Amino acid sequence: MPEREAFAEPTLAPTFAEAAERWRASRVDVAAATTIQHRTALNRALPYIGAERLDELTSQDVAELIGGLHAAGKSRESIRKTRTAVAMVFDHERITPNPARDASVKLPREEPQEVQPPSAADVEMVYRLIPAKHRLALLWLDWSGARVASIDLTQLGDYDESRRRVRLRAATTKTRRALWVELPPELAEAIEATLPHRRFRDPEARLFADSGADALRTAITKGCKAAGIPLFSPHDLRHRRVSLLHLRGVPWARIGEFVGQRNLAVTANTYSHVLIDEAELDYAGLLV
């Protein structure tokens, strides 16, 4: 008699989406900000290859993924991060050869472009168009110059109500050192209005609980398109803040400390730009 196992259904390889989730869960070695970056990078790939079985994906599929992202207007750097994350998922599942590392998979050519941070008028226009739950998070990023991961990682316990300042956790800064960001009165009052009574506050609850890094990024993109203005990202607000501080004569050492950047040369060369305008947002007017 033949062995019963010979008639057993073959085990199906996981889908890319399943494998991606397993890989993300395995990355207990990375900082919280990197976890968010991995999630964002993979989310760009899932609509293209998420439902495909891992052992059926080829280098051509990865090339078509890159082509699709390029056609959708994604930057070369965003596409590079997605290809890297996809490759690490295949590595984790021990797929050899790795289709995402095949020499035929090329990134799109892209001429270096000068980053143009958004003007105050453009940020204010988007502020009015995005859902209300994202507005405080948008103003926080504009004022602080913080990385977008701070939206997900900043907790109620990080807000110092007596001094009206927010602690940026080490996981959200380039220097891996915590720092304090003093808030303008209008923004501090708006944040305080969202807080529960002190007796009922959970210090580990998220400060911007109704928003999130990915959701805010999507809301800003939709707001820019609705307003008919150049697209900008949450990270462009970091460029805007550094440029404004530089124009106001703040020393680079102080700027580096403010935005949590350890390399002052990178801060100066990467984050300072000629702005369309030099205006701050009208926080008081926006938060009426």
Around Cβ 69, how many Cβ atoms within 10 Å?
Answer: 22
3-state secondary structure (DSSP) of residue 226: helix
Judged against a pLDDT cut of 70, whether residue 265 lies above it is answered with no
Q: Lowest mean pLDDT of 117-121, 152-156, 220-224, 260-264, name the range.
A: 260-264
Residue pair 207/158 in contact (Cβ under 8 Å)? The answer is: yes
Residue 60's pLDDT band (cuts 50, 70, 90): very high
Between CA 42 and CA 86 the distance in angstroms is 7
Structure tokens at 44: 């760009």
CA-nearest of 78, 79, 71 to 107 is 79
What is the pLDDT, as a whole number, of residue 104? 93
Between CA 288 and CA 286 the distance in angstroms is 6
Backbone angles phi and psi of 52, in degrees to 5: -80, 145
pLDDT above 70: percentage of residues in the chain: 88
Judged against a pLDDT cut of 80, whether residue 62 lies above it is answered with yes
Structure tokens at 182: 């003093």
What is the pLDDT, as a whole number, of residue 75? 87
- Taking CA atoms, 44 is separated from 38, 39, 153, 214, in Å, by 10, 9, 22, 11
Please tell me the pTM assigned to this model. Answer: 0.67
CA-nearest of 169, 132, 174 to 151 is 169
Between CA 41 and CA 82 the distance in angstroms is 4
- Taking CA atoms, 214 is separated from 39, 44, 124, 145, in Å, by 9, 11, 20, 17
pLDDT in tens, 70-98: 999 888 989 999 999 999 999 999 999 99
Backbone angles phi and psi of 143, in degrees to 5: -75, -40
What is the pLDDT, as a whole number, of residue 61? 96
Residue 243's pLDDT band (cuts 50, 70, 90): confident
- Taking CA atoms, 241 is separated from 35, 116, 244, 272, in Å, by 25, 12, 5, 9
SS3 per-residue string spanning 59-126: HHHHHHHHHHHHHCCCCHHHHHHHHHHHHHHHHHCCCCCCHHHCCCCCCCCCCCCCCCCCCHHHHHHH
What is the pLDDT, as a whole number, of residue 53? 95
CA angle 196, 201, 203 (to 5 degrees): 135
